[in-house]
Amino acid sequence: MMRTIAAAVLLTLGAIAGELRVEPARPQSGKPIEFSYVADSEYFSEPDSVWLCIYAFDDSRFYPTAWDVRLERKGTTYRGTFSAVPSDAVFLLFRIVSGREYDDNRGRFWDALVWNGSTPKTGAYFRQAISYLGQGASGIASVARRADLDRAKELLQRSLESHPEHLPTKFAYAGVRFDRGEITRSDLDETLQRLLQLPWDSTNEMQVRSRSRALRLLGRDSDAAELERRFAERFPTSDLAEEVERAYCAAAKTPEEFRDRIRRFAERFPSSPSAAKMYTDLVAYYLQQGNGDAAIATVNSYPVPPGVTSSPPPALLNMLAVTIVRQDSLLKLAQQYIEWAVRALETENLDAKPRYVAPCEYRWQLRELRGICHDTWGYVLYRMGRTEDAIEAFRQCEYLLGPFASGDMLEHLSEALMAAGRREESLAVARRAIASGRAIGPTVMRFLQSSADTAAIRAEYESLRKQARPAKLRRLRQEMLAQPLLEMQFRRNDGSTFLLGDAVLTTLDGRQISLRQLKGKVVVLDFWATWCGPCRASMPSMQKLYEKYRSTSDVEILLVNCWERVDDRAEHVRKFLASNPSYTFPVVLDLRDEVVSGFGVTGIPTKFYLDRDGVVQFKEVGFPGADVFIEEASDRIDLLLGR
């Protein structure tokens, strides 16, 4: 929420991150903006490298144009100036970035309308409104604001009041009213039919998108596709043209057809991250099928437009090198690919940056990829017996990534140093990993076995773990999602609506409970099914976690059964538990699979951690292994308990 204080806009996150002040309160096109950001001194791992990202939305294109401002630090306050608001911008979103870490106001972001004198520019309220429609509303995952239909409706009403002829607002307002259950489906269809008869601008992408969405809602998919196709032909470099081409690739019937289509896509949109991703998906498919020759041929056939890059995408080369490095006969080929990737990343080419990615974000992506590629390069060299060269590559990886180097990366360096007989250097890396909370099992084991004095080495290990606490807490705080999912409204197939917090879970003895009833407690929800192998593998750890907090009255751990393919789910689950008598954790049934759908689960096991207010703070997909899971789950629960 935004409020005016004197001539400033003050937007607050609270103690966990920081607060941002924007001056003036009403930014004008072509004029500068002053920013001041006050941060928790422990929030960022690299406090002297902090940037403000600005996502500028206009009234025609869907995706924003991203800019950045380097913030200069004085104590706990950071200041910076954006030289001039772009002339076509109508709405601005802000977030703070430092390497991999960021402050996005717990998913709320900060924002500002762009004004013409005393009036918001046309489309300003509209772009602000649709930013509250959640994932996909901005088109960019990193700029996906927390959904708030009430706020969206309020802003759309303001947009209609200030610019009553703004066509995209009219379409969006009808859709939001339907989503809120204020109008029926027949009312919506009638409104959309009427709006489609109004005059419109065929050169305005937002108007084309509004019409296309309306046509699809009315079941006129072919008309919508034809509308999008005509616009894409007329504006072949537009955002919509890229999406049309991406959909064309996805509709391919065979891997070979997909290969030919994504090659054309990469030629037309060389700066699009989707090009490398689709190539990576295809290469991964060939590798899963055991068709290494096709995977290699696909990488080698990647189109290289002049001046864009000197090789196929480094991420693609790295993936192939990682996949084949374990085969002795392919070590030389793995070396060729990873060295190709490392060379390609030696120069920083911002010309290849997508418009909607800020320069600081893109530079970090390149830096992170360089670190990952050096880690892979080191591993290839280590497998080839070139241990000293591998150590240098691993050290370069840690230098590039600093506090963001993973535990696996530090383990690679520690192992190589030990193999080279550089024992003290190896243990120094292990100490660094443990003290920063990044050590993985083999690193810890190597450290604990490094001395015959087991009591002394164990005491040092515990001391190092205590040092890791601030870093672990910082990472946990940055991971907090702050998603009030329980207050979100969903629509059933029969047209009725419900709030997720009121959806019913059923115990094995037939009692019904809702998540809203559990407010006041820290809640862990683990979505699972009896047929899910990873779910079953995680259950011994879930039992240990349950036993650890069983006597803590303000912690509730529930295993939520979903997606079963049986008629009598309760009986099926009872038989499963009877065959596993050591499991005593509480199990509930999501009989209509409404809760799992409301939480947006796409794969299981998936766990959610809710705070005492019923707000989702953490999400974990898959099972990381027993030791890692117990420690990380306990850290999350304890943080939410305020310990």
Domains of the chain, each with CATH number or no CATH: 3-203 (2.60.40.1930), 220-308 (no CATH), 324-405 (no CATH), 419-479 (no CATH), 485-641 (3.40.30.10)
CB atoms within 10 A of CB 142: 16
**DSSP string covering 54-82, please?**
EEEE-SS-SSPEEEEEEEEEETTEEEEEE
Integer Cα distance of 626 and 79 in angstroms = 44
Confidence of residue 9 (pLDDT cuts 50, 70, 90): very low
Q: Are 415 and 378 in contact (CB under 8 A)?
A: no
Residues 142-169 have pLDDT tens digits of: 788 877 888 999 999 999 999 999 999 9
Residues 125-135 have pLDDT tens digits of: 999 999 998 75
Integer Cα distance of 224 and 208 in angstroms = 9
Confidence of residue 10 (pLDDT cuts 50, 70, 90): very low
The DSSP bridge partners found for residue 506 are 512, 589
Q: Are 53 and 38 in contact (CB under 8 A)?
A: no
Confidence of residue 295 (pLDDT cuts 50, 70, 90): confident
Integer Cα distance of 153 and 473 in angstroms = 37
- Of 90, 106, 97, 102, which is closest to residue 146 (Cα–Cα)? 106
No. of H helices and E strands in the chain? 22, 21
CB atoms within 10 A of CB 246: 19
Q: Are strands 50-57 and 91-98 parallel, antiparallel or unpaired?
A: antiparallel
- Of 616, 473, 358, 404, which is closest to residue 40 (Cα–Cα)? 473
pLDDT value at residue 33? 97
Higher-pLDDT residue of 276 and 153 is: 153
Q: Are strands 497-499 and 489-491 parallel, antiparallel or unpaired?
A: antiparallel
The angle that helices 359-383 and 407-419 make with each other, rounded to 10 degrees, is 30
Confidence of residue 43 (pLDDT cuts 50, 70, 90): confident
E-assigned strand segments in 76-222: 77-82, 91-98, 101-103, 110-113, 115-116, 119-120
- Of 484, 477, 505, 522, which is closest to residue 595 (Cα–Cα)? 505
Mean pLDDT for all residues in the chain? 89
- Of 415, 344, 430, which is closest to residue 383 (Cα–Cα)? 415
pLDDT at 536 over 70: yes
Q: Are 214 and 168 in contact (CB under 8 A)?
A: no
Q: Are 204 and 210 in contact (CB under 8 A)?
A: no
Confidence of residue 568 (pLDDT cuts 50, 70, 90): very high
The top-scoring range by mean pLDDT among 302-306, 418-422, 485-489, 632-636 is 418-422
Burial (0-12, 13-18, 19+ Cβ within 10 Å), 642 = exposed
Integer Cα distance of 588 and 574 in angstroms = 11
pLDDT value at residue 91? 97
Q: Are 177 and 185 in contact (CB under 8 A)?
A: no
Rounded to an integer, the average pLDDT of 52-69 is 96
Integer Cα distance of 135 and 139 in angstroms = 8
Place of tokens 């403000």: 52
pLDDT value at residue 495? 64
Integer Cα distance of 112 and 90 in angstroms = 9
What tokens appear for 7 in the block? 């001539």
Rounded to an integer, the average pLDDT of 70-85 is 94
Rounded to an integer, the average pLDDT of 426-434 is 96
Residues 175-209 have pLDDT tens digits of: 999 988 899 999 999 999 999 999 999 999 999 99
E-assigned strand segments in 457-521: 489-491, 497-499, 504-507, 512-514
- Of 213, 217, 219, 247, which is closest to residue 232 (Cα–Cα)? 247
- Choice among 53-67, 228-242, 281-295 with the minimum mean pLDDT: 281-295
What tokens appear for 495 in the block? 């047209």
Confidence of residue 440 (pLDDT cuts 50, 70, 90): confident
pLDDT value at residue 611? 94
pLDDT value at residue 294? 87
Residues 377-402 have pLDDT tens digits of: 999 999 999 999 999 999 999 999 99
Q: Are 34 and 79 in contact (CB under 8 A)?
A: yes
